[in-house]
Chain A
């Protein structure tokens, strides 16, 4: 069975399942990591056992991000990998030796149901001749384009300390950007997966618009949207949203807020994320349970304009610093304010990360935009007095002529009357 979601014809998960990325995509990723490692002078790139985001009660992005590098390099949820820079095959370690089409000869972390990983990781590095090597470790710190929300990194302490203890003559250095800049450039298969994810997220928004009403329990609305995306085959990724009156405080919820009942003139502003092929798409669509008041209309118009102008501006070769300045200065011409809001899309906690808490982003102003970058683009517009604000956005892919919103939705507020 097939449903049409926007411009995407989508078979049901039973009939059109996700079957994994190709070996060519695997080789593209591994090659890119090797090239980045060679430039940085590393003998190998090592992704050790990382902390488990699911149990950490982190934010959505951080939870997905903790083991994102290993998913990127193996398509496995939990593993460790050592990739020699010289082109030899990597060694992959998994809990009980489980593999997949990319990893056909994984090593078992140890005996028993739940083994310790430190020795197996050290053995892998020694087998690759890394006893005295310069080893690049991904995930020790936050990077420029990945793990941006995890400044203290994502590596498990006990297993990593044991690995280092067993290789006293090797040096271990942060190499988060070695994997990060490989992830930064999406392949064609990744872009196709993100488009599918964006279409599923759009279906989630459509469901919210269809059922949201004053008097409805917000937890029930949340559940309806999640059901819609799950039945279309998305992995579970919690809907995040703000519920407020126009101009009022807008608390953010990342679970079903079962204690809230919606009222007329409430603004429901969801970030609807769907996951297809492991990649997280996001669509943001404010919905008003009523008619848009006159005073908000110029803010919405400004956001629409800065959104489109930004898409045109983000051509390959443009530096982030220039894009940031362009967007942050855009609203002043109309006596209002605009700020940049965006972050990468991919396996989780992708960057660059530009939020209201850090709109200047000095540490990656020098990073150029490249063709096949993917992010959620959602600049924010404010009224002159700063009391009203509006943000809309979604998955955007950079091509030669600038950014493209993959769903083709029109920026604006949806009214539910």
Chain B
């Protein structure tokens, strides 16, 4: 009989109550009678139930008035949800019934995941909700109103608890261990698919859930090539091959990410000032990331940082958490409304500002997971800054 190893498996009940009460408070402020996470939005459903579907995940109705939520799922129970309602492969009617059972016939129902939000589902402007069952729900509750409530769940996800930060720290450790494995095998002549394979092996054996490794592999100075999220095909490493990676590990449901450029060869002189300014803007940015600083202020600081050295710097960052976390700032483009949002203690980001030379022909990015504290942001990882050279 196989043996069960003692290791982390579930969140505490206190963490569940923190999340549920945070969502209830947001819903009350918005005047919603409940928050509904329908089929399709498995990320928010997992955040609120811990159920990771072997099949369709779960749906949850969380009444604002403090009543216990209703959860439906095909498989899965845990210390948070001891008796979910079981469904088969057809979800439409059970979804409608759970709202009816909760007395939401004429309610204002907040739907998480109908659209992209500020703090979550930031890459999905059309949301993540599945059409057929949601259309059925609206048909079955013709006197209820359905409104987007993505940011109500998102705002709770935006601030991490100590429990979550500890798990993200472990995730960062796993991602760094994978980077170490990549570094071990990088050499001229190596099949690039091996980099993917050894990194994934390391993360899986350390207990990470799967999350695609992202790789860019091209000659130093060449335009950025294809983004590989599966093993690269048709590539053998050569002298001056530059490997840029986003190594993501998932521990405690939370996605950590570490980015570590690796060069087969020696760093050319022309690259050194770009790498230096990236280091400096990274650490200066951490000092700026104090509670109360707005994303607009941070972006302005990062974007203006390189000019005094005749170089360019840009903000590249996004939230870390259950997946598709925000805010998302790509190449200093701040989404509408995000510039006025203040950082809070307990926010966690992948912070990886970009540095370029004056004509943009040299670009360098490096970064990792950081948590906002009263004295500025603190890295959750241990690596030293810089490009790793394999000589």
The answer to whether A and B interact is: yes
A residues with CB within 8 A of B: 1, 12-15, 17-19, 49, 51-52, 54-59, 62, 113-118, 140-142, 149-162, 217-220, 222-224, 226-228, 230-236, 238, 243, 245, 248, 252, 254-256, 258-263, 266, 275
Q: Which A residue sits closest to B123, measured CB to CB? A: A114
Known: A18-B233, A149-B89, A153-B132. A258 touches B126 (CB 8 A): no
B265 at the interface (CB under 8 A from A): no
Residues of B within 8 A of A261 (CB): 2-5
Q: Which of B9, B132, B193, B205 contacts A219 (CB 8 A)?
A: B205
Q: Which A residue sits closest to B135, measured CB to CB? A: A157
**What are 16 sample pairs from A and B whose C-beta atoms fall under 8 A apart?**
A15-B191, A55-B42, A56-B42, A57-B46, A58-B42, A59-B54, A114-B116, A114-B123, A151-B91, A156-B40, A158-B115, A223-B201, A226-B200, A226-B201, A259-B4, A263-B2
**B9 and A259 contact, CB distance less than 8 A:** yes
B residues with CB within 8 A of A: 1-7, 9, 39-40, 42-43, 46, 52-57, 89-92, 114-116, 122-135, 191-194, 196-198, 200-210, 212, 230-236, 323-324, 328, 330, 333
Give the dominant DSSP class at B's interface.
loop
Give the Cβ gap from B111 to chain A, nearest Cβ, in Å.
9
**A255 and B209 contact, CB distance less than 8 A:** yes
Report Cα–Cα, A17/B235, bound state, in Å.
9
Known: A231-B231, A256-B205, A258-B207. A160 touches B131 (CB 8 A): yes
Report Cα–Cα, A321/B122, bound state, in Å.
47
Residues of B within 8 A of A152 (CB): 39, 90-92, 130, 132-133
Report Cα–Cα, A51/B191, bound state, in Å.
34
**B132 and A259 contact, CB distance less than 8 A:** no
**A114 and B230 contact, CB distance less than 8 A:** no
Q: Which of B123, B203, B231 contacts A235 (CB 8 A)?
A: B231
Give the Cβ gap from B90 to chain A, nearest Cβ, in Å.
5
Give the Cβ gap from B195 to chain A, nearest Cβ, in Å.
10
Report Cα–Cα, A51/B128, bound state, in Å.
6
Give the Cβ gap from A138 to chain B, nearest Cβ, in Å.
12
**B201 and A224 contact, CB distance less than 8 A:** yes
Q: Which A residue sits closest to B127, measured CB to CB? A: A158
Report Cα–Cα, A243/B204, bound state, in Å.
17
Q: Which B residue sits closest to A264, measured CB to CB? A: B1
Residues of B within 8 A of A150 (CB): 89
Residues of B within 8 A of A266 (CB): 1-2
Residues of A within 8 A of B207 (CB): 219, 256, 258-259
Known: A14-B235, A59-B55. A258 touches B5 (CB 8 A): yes
Q: Which of A15, A156, A256, A258 contacts B127 (CB 8 A)?
A: A156
**A258 and B131 contact, CB distance less than 8 A:** no
**A230 and B206 contact, CB distance less than 8 A:** no
**B201 and A55 contact, CB distance less than 8 A:** no
**A260 and B205 contact, CB distance less than 8 A:** no
Give the Cβ gap from B126 to chain A, nearest Cβ, in Å.
4
Residues of A within 8 A of B40 (CB): 51, 56, 156-157
Residues of A within 8 A of B56 (CB): 58, 62
Known: A12-B193, A57-B52, A218-B2. A157 touches B233 (CB 8 A): no
Residues of B within 8 A of A157 (CB): 40, 114, 126-127, 129-131, 134-135
Residues of B within 8 A of A233 (CB): 193, 231, 233
Report Cα–Cα, A58/B194, bound state, in Å.
28
**B125 and A259 contact, CB distance less than 8 A:** no
**B130 and A155 contact, CB distance less than 8 A:** yes
Q: Which of A118, A245, A248, A275 contacts B126 (CB 8 A)?
A: A118
**B197 and A227 contact, CB distance less than 8 A:** yes
**A113 and B333 contact, CB distance less than 8 A:** yes
Give the Cβ gap from B46 to chain A, nearest Cβ, in Å.
6
Q: How many A-B pairs fall under 8 Å by CB?
A: 208
Query: Which among B43, B53, B207, B231 has the greatest number of chain A C-beta atoms within 10 A?
Result: B231
Give the Cβ gap from A302 to chain B, nearest Cβ, in Å.
26
Report Cα–Cα, A56/B116, bound state, in Å.
15
Give the Cβ gap from A191 to chain B, nearest Cβ, in Å.
20
Known: A58-B57, A113-B330, A114-B122. A217 touches B2 (CB 8 A): no
Report Cα–Cα, A362/B260, bound state, in Å.
54
Report Cα–Cα, A141/B53, bound state, in Å.
20
**A156 and B90 contact, CB distance less than 8 A:** no
**A151 and B89 contact, CB distance less than 8 A:** yes
Report Cα–Cα, A154/B379, bound state, in Å.
39
Residues of A within 8 A of B197 (CB): 226-228, 230-231
Report Cα–Cα, A62/B53, bound state, in Å.
11
Q: Which of A13, A153, A217, A255 contacts B5 (CB 8 A)?
A: A217
**B124 and A238 contact, CB distance less than 8 A:** no
Closest 9 CB pairs of A and B: A17-B233, A17-B234, A258-B207, A227-B201, A223-B204, A230-B197, A223-B205, A231-B197, A14-B191
Report Cα–Cα, A219/B127, bound state, in Å.
34
**A52 and B124 contact, CB distance less than 8 A:** yes
Known: A113-B330, A151-B90, A153-B132. A58 touches B53 (CB 8 A): yes
Give the Cβ gap from A261 to chain B, nearest Cβ, in Å.
4
Give the Cβ gap from A50 to chain B, nearest Cβ, in Å.
9
**B232 and A13 contact, CB distance less than 8 A:** yes
Residues of B within 8 A of A260 (CB): 2-5
Give the Cβ gap from B388 to chain A, nearest Cβ, in Å.
22
Q: Which B residue sits closest to A261, measured CB to CB? A: B3
Q: Which of B42, B206, B324 contacts A57 (CB 8 A)?
A: B42
Report Cα–Cα, A233/B126, bound state, in Å.
33
Report Cα–Cα, A154/B5, bound state, in Å.
37
Residues of A within 8 A of B91 (CB): 151-152
Report Cα–Cα, A158/B231, bound state, in Å.
33
**A258 and B57 contact, CB distance less than 8 A:** no
Residues of B within 8 A of A51 (CB): 40, 128-130
**B234 and A14 contact, CB distance less than 8 A:** yes
Known: A57-B42, A230-B196. A149 touches B55 (CB 8 A): yes
Residues of A within 8 A of B235 (CB): 14
**A220 and B205 contact, CB distance less than 8 A:** yes
Residues of A within 8 A of B205 (CB): 217, 219-220, 222-224, 256, 258
Report Cα–Cα, A149/B333, bound state, in Å.
40
Known: A14-B234, A263-B3. A158 touches B114 (CB 8 A): yes
Report Cα–Cα, A261/B4, bound state, in Å.
6
Q: Which B residue sits closest to A234, measured CB to CB? A: B231
Report Cα–Cα, A140/B131, bound state, in Å.
7
Q: Which B residue sits closest to A358, measured CB to CB? A: B89
Report Cα–Cα, A235/B229, bound state, in Å.
9
Residues of B within 8 A of A115 (CB): 125
Q: Which of B53, B129, B200 contacts A59 (CB 8 A)?
A: B53
Residues of A within 8 A of B89 (CB): 142, 149-151
Report Cα–Cα, A149/B90, bound state, in Å.
9
Report Cα–Cα, A57/B51, bound state, in Å.
9
Q: Which A residue sits closest to B57, measured CB to CB? A: A57
